[in-house]
């Protein structure tokens, strides 16, 4: 961790406002159990992705150049 922090501190420069964004899902439970699963009821939601429906959080990763 220390070498990574040192490298990132050394590489600081003026931002160019170019960012790369990626998203992924953090699945909460299987689709069959959505109605019985109440732990993340107000936070997680059901969405449709390329692989079908899922009940999960969306994780976004943003990296600048």
The pLDDT > 70 percentage for the chain reads 92
Q: How confident is the model at residue 46 (pLDDT cuts 50, 70, 90)?
A: confident
Number of domains present in the structure of the chain: 1
Residue 5 lies inside a defined structural domain of this protein? no
Whole-prediction pTM? 0.48
In a domain, 4, yes or no: no
**Interval 17-41: pLDDT, tens:** 778 888 888 888 877 787 787 788 7
* Residue 1 domain flag: no
Distance CA 33, CA 17 (A): 42
Domain extent at residue 30: 16-64
- On whether residue 2 sits in a domain, the answer given is no
């Amino acid at each position: 961790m220390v070498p990574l922090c040192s490298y990132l501190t050394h590489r600081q420069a003026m931002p160019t406002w170019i960012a790369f964004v990626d998203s992924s899902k953090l699945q909460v439970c299987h689709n069959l159990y959505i109605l019985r699963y109440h732990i993340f009821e107000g936070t997680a939601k059901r969405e449709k992705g390329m692989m079908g429906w899922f009940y999960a959080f969306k994780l976004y990763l943003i990296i600048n150049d």
